[in-house]
Amino acid sequence: ARVQRITEKAASSFLLSCRHESQVEEEAHEKTEAEAPKDETEIQVDRTISPSVIRDEEEKAKGKPIAAILVGAPGSGKSTFCENVMRGSSRLWVRVCQDTINNGKSGTKPQCLKSAAASLKEGKSVFIDRCNLDKEQRVDFVNLGGPEVEVHAVVLDLPAKLSISRIVKRTGHEGNLQGGKAAAVVNRMLQNKELPKLSEGFSRITFCRNETDVDAAVKTYTAVGPLDTLPHGCFGQKDPNAKTQLGIMRFLKRPHETNTRDSVPSQLTEEKGPCGKTQETVSSSSGMPSQKIKVSEDMAPGSISQDESDIPTLAFPSISTADFQFDLEMASDVIVGKVEEFMDKLGNARLVLVDLTERSKILSLVRAKAAEKKIDSKRFFTFIGDICQLYTKGGLCCNVIANAANWRLKPGGGGVNAAIFNAGGPALEAATKEQARSLLPGNALVVPLPSTSPLYSKEGVTHVIHVLGPNMNPRRPNCLDNDYVKGCKVLEDAYSSLFKGFLSIANTQVKVPRSSGSILSGPSKLEDEISGTKTKTWAPCLQALYNIAMQPEKHNKQVLEASDDVVVLNDIYPKAKQHLLVLARIKGLDTLADARKEHLPLLMAMHEVGLRWVDKFVGEDASLVFRLGYHSVPSMRQLHLHVISQDFDSKHLKHKKHWNSFTTAFFRDSVDVMEEINNQGKATIQDEKRLMSMELRCHQCRSAHPNIPRLKSHISSCQAPFPADLQKKGRLVPEQTNSGSPEMNLLVADLEAAPHGEPRGP
């Protein structure tokens, strides 16, 4: 037994010794192997993998460059804003200033665009330090944006008094705009000011109304690091019920203007319509300080707005991810995939994914995946806000909104469904019941919204599309028990149905631009027959002329003349010294494309009424010359004849589209329209896109001009005769209007002899 214990002890010691030696040898081997040179294959592997990993990480960490377009009059503090942000920001900013772009000297807009594009391409963020006071000045810089660049606007809409005092005091300004004379320059610039809107292509707009707002904006942009982003939407927007600030000329206190200004009614306030723009009823347009008084002084007693309409836009929530508890990652894949699929079918329409909070995970996921697929951020973007108050609270006009409905299509249940039914009121519930009583998962139901609904009158929503997606919540009906194969298919079907429903609306809805002198921004086919087999949907803000034509007795302040056939009123944005609208009073005659041979007596009546008003105006001012005609594609519902003097002396004529809509073939002379309808049965509708892009040319001598100010300066002194084609067939109406042209007299004779009876006179 003793020998056995000694033997076991010796064996144990031997094993420990062997284990220790083995460990020492292994460590020595590892050290030697680490110090030994690697073969070429191993070295090559390290060289190829390592940088790739680094690049991937860098790409993930890289934030989007920002193109921040500053909007403000001289003296509003744009350059100071840039300097203050750049001084404290960790993000790399470049200031692009037209006053210094040419080697420290004043340069051109193309130079600014080139510099900004180069900086953005290098991953730098840029400040566009120009006045950018109207949409036309901003559009080229907005176009610098895309999936990889966010476009912001910072609006320094400070009181005129403050801007003037700064300009008067400053010296050595890089743009040489300083001293007392600069005040008049600033005043002229502010008369054409248009505040930016999200519909122009901005992802974020910050409004600064005072120095406190400016300081807050400086802090916001200074805090944005290289990897940070800012929430999208409008911030600091002025209350639409607030009064417009006094103009600069008020501050200068010109004695000879005081009495006139004091006589202006106190109710001159800014009013916004439900289509994402400021309308003038008895007030000035948004953001035109010095025009608040002047517009009202120039406005005739009978006038009506023909303002801008936004492009067709669908706002939709994320379907099934809230109460139905669908996986966010999978839902975001479906959303982006379906949006990408429908991009080519959208035309100029837009899709907007909406959620209430900037912390929304679904918005973040969709934004990132849409950027990866390089989806056009102007036609699909995300928005933070209440889907029931996108216009009134967010400044975004969406004519169609989607509702994440329940299968019974009834209010309640909380969330988006309850909110939309509540906002739509009883009218929405009744309209939904007329269409259907229930909905199957994966389907959508388009419901035209009655005009009595608050969503229609306040937000400009014309349709609600109810959508039912898949349910993963066991407490709700039709739960799929986490069957995501079937769930994804149902969700794809739901979004397909939603987008198809929206396209059916967008393809029949007239899209119009900003004013009575403008045209469609994209292709439009107005082939609807008056029989009603097809109907066009008109936004609430586009029905003002129709409402007046149908019930002129309710609009005594606007109406200058009314009969059984026509109503006459002033254009609220006259493009000349005298600019009237003669409205047809027949239902179903919305546009020139609707006019047929049976309407010739009415068109004759409209023409004769226009001639009678021309006689009146020429009797008051013998220098006036007129044209009477129609826009090929009108900007508001209800056929209306323009009676416009050819001086084009108006502060409302501000853009190329205004000019070209009255001086190119887009403007169809009334005598030609009547002749075509008499001979062919309908009028020719001209290609508005091509005509609106034509260069600016004098309507008399046909000389070309680079911009509207130069053109207006020229036409005020142009003595050339009108082109020969305008002097034929009575297209131009000078002092002698009673006899009419030979062609016109022949047409009258034909109509009087026609079997359908005599033309109805005014």
Q: How far apart are CA 749 and CA 732, in angstroms?
A: 21
Q: How far apart are CA 672 and CA 21, in angstroms?
A: 110
Q: How far apart are CA 699 and CA 701, in angstroms?
A: 6
For this structure, is 466 an active site residue?
A: no
Q: What are phi and psi for residue 156, nearest 5 degrees? A: -95, 80
Picking from 469, 455, 443, the residue whose alpha carbon sits closest to that of residue 362 is: 469
What letter represents residue 270's amino acid?
E
Q: How far apart are CA 410 and CA 407, in angstroms?
A: 8
Helices within 191-271 (DSSP H only): 211-222, 248-252, 255-262
**Cβ count near 588 (within 10 Å):** 14
Single out the catalytic residue among 579, 607, 640, 658. 640
Q: How far is CA 634 from CA 136, 299, 543, 580, 608, in A?
A: 21, 22, 12, 15, 21
Q: What are phi and psi for residue 93, nearest 5 degrees? A: -110, 150
Q: How far apart are CA 362 and CA 331, in angstroms?
A: 8
Three-state SS at 756: coil
Task: Name 373's Cβ contacts closer than 8 Å, sequence gap at least 6.
Answer: 336, 340
Residues 72 and 102: beta-carbon distance below 8 Å: no
Helices within 150-290 (DSSP H only): 160-169, 182-190, 211-222, 248-252, 255-262
Q: How far is CA 169 from CA 99, 181, 517, in A?
A: 19, 12, 40
Q: How far is CA 397 from CA 16, 206, 312, 389, 390, in A?
A: 83, 18, 9, 9, 7
Q: How far apart are CA 693 and CA 501, in angstroms?
A: 32
DSSP string, 268-329: ---EEETTTEEE-SSSPPTT-TTHHHHHHHH--SSEE-----PPPEEEEPPTTSSTT---HH
Residues 158 and 214: beta-carbon distance below 8 Å: yes
Mark 60-97 as b/e (b = at least 16 C-beta within 10 Å): eeeebbbbbbbbbbbbbbbbebbbbbbeebebebbbbb
Which residue, chain included where needed, has tokens 């064996």?
A: 11
Q: How far apart are CA 475 and CA 48, in angstroms?
A: 52
Residues 330 and 474: beta-carbon distance below 8 Å: no
Q: How far apart are CA 484 and CA 491, in angstroms?
A: 10
Picking from 762, 743, 587, the residue whose alpha carbon sits closest to that of residue 678 is: 743
Picking from 120, 96, 118, the residue whose alpha carbon sits closest to that of residue 108 is: 96
What letter represents residue 112's amino acid?
C
Residues 296 and 443: beta-carbon distance below 8 Å: no
**Cβ count near 412 (within 10 Å):** 11
Q: How far apart are CA 498 and CA 463, in angstroms?
A: 12
Which residue, chain included where needed, has tokens 């056939």?
A: 565
Which residue, chain included where needed, has tokens 């047409």?
A: 747
DSSP state for residue 651 in the 8-state scheme: T
Consecutive H or E run containing 205 = strand 204-208
**Cβ count near 179 (within 10 Å):** 13
**Within 13 A of 674's CA, how many CA atoms are on the CB side?**
27
Picking from 654, 595, 621, 605, the residue whose alpha carbon sits closest to that of residue 761 is: 605
Positions marked catalytic? 640
